[in-house]
Amino acid sequence: MKRVCIVLAIFASFFLTGCTAKTTNIDINNDEGKAVMGLDYRDFDKAASQMVQSLMASGALTKKGGGRYVVATGKIVNDTMQRIDTDQLMAKVEQEMMNSGKVVVTSAVGGKGASDDMVYDVRELRDGKAGEEFDQKTVAGKGQLIAPELSLSGKIIQRNVKYSSKEQQVEYYFQLRLTDLATGLRFWQNETLIGKRGSNKSVSW
């Protein structure tokens, strides 16, 4: 009986410790927290900001005759040992591009996570029984979708290098390119490197 009581006391102490563990909010605008070997939100913000600055400075988004380019987000390859949601990177890039007033981003076509199925779902309301329930004047008509003029595609690459007997170096290459879909010509490309160095005991995945 005494042994059972001891076991229960241990479980209770673990439970109470978990409930009272200290939690703090992160100041994302001034985060001086410990760096990690993997990629965190600070790395994505840094990479996206640097690439957008390069893109804006290149003049590739200045359209002759004025107006805004229609841009589609193509395939972004994750060639790292981490399970990265590439949409996280592209969301910031797309946001900055649209805020520039020089582009609009299409949701009709694009790579993983870039397109919106609803664009096509609403067009299923034109015919059939489902269409009978909707005022056809309010349903998107044929020939209204706007084709993209430019495409953004890229890749995230991870390279692990042995730095010393106790330390490792991890290099993350963020690559992005802008292609004219009519001609296939590449208007712009950029590679941003984020490097980290730490103990061999640290994991980068």
Task: For residue 45, tell me if it sits in a domain.
Answer: yes
Task: For residue 54, tell me if it sits in a domain.
Answer: yes
Task: For residue 137, tell me if it sits in a domain.
Answer: no
Please give the tally of structural domains in the chain.
1
The enclosing domain of 59 has a CATH number of 3.30.2300.10
d(CA 36, CA 128): 55
pTM above 0.85, yes or no: no
Task: For residue 189, tell me if it sits in a domain.
Answer: yes
Task: For residue 11, tell me if it sits in a domain.
Answer: no
d(CA 116, CA 109): 8
Task: For residue 192, tell me if it sits in a domain.
Answer: yes
Residue numbers of the domain that contains 191: 39-129+147-199
The two structure tokens encoding residue 49: 């900001």
Task: For residue 141, tell me if it sits in a domain.
Answer: no
Task: For residue 2, tell me if it sits in a domain.
Answer: no
Q: What is the pLDDT along the chain (205 residues), one digit of tens a residue?
A: 555 555 555 555 544 445 556 776 666 566 666 777 788 888 989 999 999 999 999 999 999 888 999 999 999 999 998 888 888 889 899 999 999 999 999 999 887 777 888 998 888 888 767 778 888 888 888 899 999 999 999 999 999 988 888 888 999 999 999 999 999 999 999 999 999 888 877 665 5
